Amino acid sequence: MTSTLAHNVEKQLNFSSSHIDAKYIENVRNYNINNETIVVNPHMWDVFVGEPVRNIIPAFSSTILCVASSDLFVGRTSVQSGQQL
């Protein structure tokens, strides 16, 4: 079965400001991040973080992805600038 939903549909959240860029992204596929980012998984299934460090974000949880080298920090998953989520 093929999905007909658009990928990476961004919705700005009400608490966004000049200090916090808060978005809800639907149907995520190959979404690039370029800054330290808090990622929340509100779904009942795991989501996968792309390379260079392959990892998951468990259902109903969150993590901080930091743009850095391929080092893995405690409580954080490192991804290189421009890598896909």
Residue 65 identity (one-letter amino acid) = L
Q: What is the Cα–Cα distance from 76 to 35, expressed in whole angstroms?
A: 13
Residue 55: exposure state from Cβ atoms within 10 A (0-12, 13-18, ≥19): middle
Peptide bond connecting 52 to the previous residue in cis, omega within 30 degrees of 0: yes
Q: What is the pLDDT of residues 8-49, one digit of tens each?
A: 899 999 999 999 899 998 888 888 877 788 889 998 988 888
CB 32 within 8 A of CB 65: no
More confident residue, 74 or 2: 2
Question: What element of type H or E holds 56?
Answer: strand 55-57
In the chain, where are the structural domains located?
1-28, 32-85
What integer pLDDT is reported at residue 13 of this predicted model? 93
